[in-house]
Amino acid sequence: MSIGVLTSGGDAPGMNAAIRAVTKVAASKSLTVWGIRDGFDGLIDGNLQPLTRQIGKKGALSPIPEVEDSGGHGGTMLGSARSERFYTRESRIVAAEVFKDYSLQGLIVIGGNGSMAGAHVLAAEHDIPVVGIPASIDNDIGLTREALGVDTALNTIVDACDKISDTARSHHRAFIVEVMGRNSGYLAMAAAVATAADAVLLPEQGSGPDEIVDSVVRELKRSFEGARDKARVLILKAEGVSIATETLVDRVRAELGPESVFEVRATILGHLVRGGNPSFRDRLLAGRFAFTAVSALLEGHTDVMTGWNLQGLGTQTSDSWIKLFPITAVLEETEALLDGSSAVTMDRVRRMEAIQGVLAI
């Protein structure tokens, strides 16, 4: 029996760890593994490479050295892409034919929302057994407490903010630091707590540009003026907030005026947040997701995603923390996360509102 594995969408630390874990678990169950390069584009183009090899006299399967070596590295050894071609039915037909040409009996898709949507379409249109593994630093995938890459991204943000705070204190400056996350403010919110930031700006708060500028100016004046006289001010901003970071800083400077005794600067961490070797937790999650995903294929599950969920939801697996969820349910909850109607999003906003006063102390 042979299975395929691909990584799709934005890269995330932990993808390589998941590829390694999928390959090792599959090999232990005598499953040949094919790596599909460059996401769904690779499936359309037939760009596959073997990830297992036979060793010893009995022909036991083992991962190829490249897989073994990549597990602790960031990015993805298979490459990744957001495939425009996969949106067309004709390309998906070609992809399904390639799947059959390689005699694959299952496919594991590692990626975010778009990747899960692609996996669902393959299962629904072509009856291909598919299991998804959530990987996205944005933590905007429904029904999983965390996706691969989130913990590493947060560690990267915290480390960067600690360094920024060092120089900010030395020069009595304020920094507005933008972090990735698309339309999800999770990274900014979690990092704000971990770095003792003075404030955090989230897209879920729904604030307009003028309101954001006013709130930042108030916080800066409160922090730097009077008896408090803070050495530094650190404000974290999610990239999905309604005003660009450079514009925000320019407007804040204009409001403060040329006589202001402190400087305000912007730092956009950008793709720095996506890179780096995966943390312990991302490697652990990769292994647990992978074990569950391979087992799910062997048990006949399809059109499902593995998720870290402790709420009693989903189909129970041998791992008490990792459940299986229909991808359709995952996509519905993901949409609710982003439009604010999810209980998870509402809880995040409530928590952030509750601690805003604490951050500013």
CA 197, CA 104: separation in Å to the nearest integer? 50
**DSSP output for 203-230:** GGG---HHHHHHHHHHHHHHHHSTT---
Residue 312's pLDDT is: 79
Name residue 178's beta-bridge partners.
237, 268
* Residue 162 annotated among the catalytic residues of the structure: no
Identical topology for domains 2-149+278-338 and 151-275: yes
CATH 3.40.50.970 describes domain 2-149+278-338:
no
DSSP letter for 85, please. G
CA triplet 243, 248, 251: central angle to 5 degrees?
125
Statement: residue 357 has pLDDT above 70:
no
Helix 327-339 / helix 113-126 crossing angle, nearest 10 deg: 150
Q: What is the pLDDT of residue 227?
A: 59
Residues above pLDDT 90, as percent of the chain: 78
In the CATH scheme, what architecture does the domain 151-275 have?
A: 3-Layer(aba) Sandwich (3.40)
The tens digit of pLDDT for each residue in 257-278 reads 887 778 899 999 999 999 999 9
Lowest mean pLDDT among 37-46, 151-160, 222-231: 222-231
Would you state the pLDDT for residue 65? 95
Instruction: Find the range with the poorest average confidence among 8-12, 31-35, 55-59, 70-74.
Output: 55-59
Q: Measured between alpha carbons, how far is residue 127 from residues 96, 118, 186, 300, 321 in Å?
A: 9, 13, 35, 12, 28
Instruction: Show me where the domains of the chain are located.
Output: 2-149+278-338, 151-275
- Average pLDDT (148-162) is 98
What is the per-residue pLDDT across 183-196, written as a single tens digit (0 to 9) for each? 889 999 999 999 99
pLDDT (0 to 100) of residue 226: 64
pLDDT of residue 335: 94
pTM reported for the whole predicted model: 0.94
Q: Which of 138, 151, 282, 303 is catalytic?
A: 138
**Which band of pLDDT confidence, cut at 50, 70 and 90, is reported for residue 66?**
very high
Rounded mean pLDDT of the chain? 93
Distance CA 291, CA 108 (A): 11
Q: CB neighbours (10 Å) of residue 49?
A: 14
Residue-level pLDDT at 296: 98
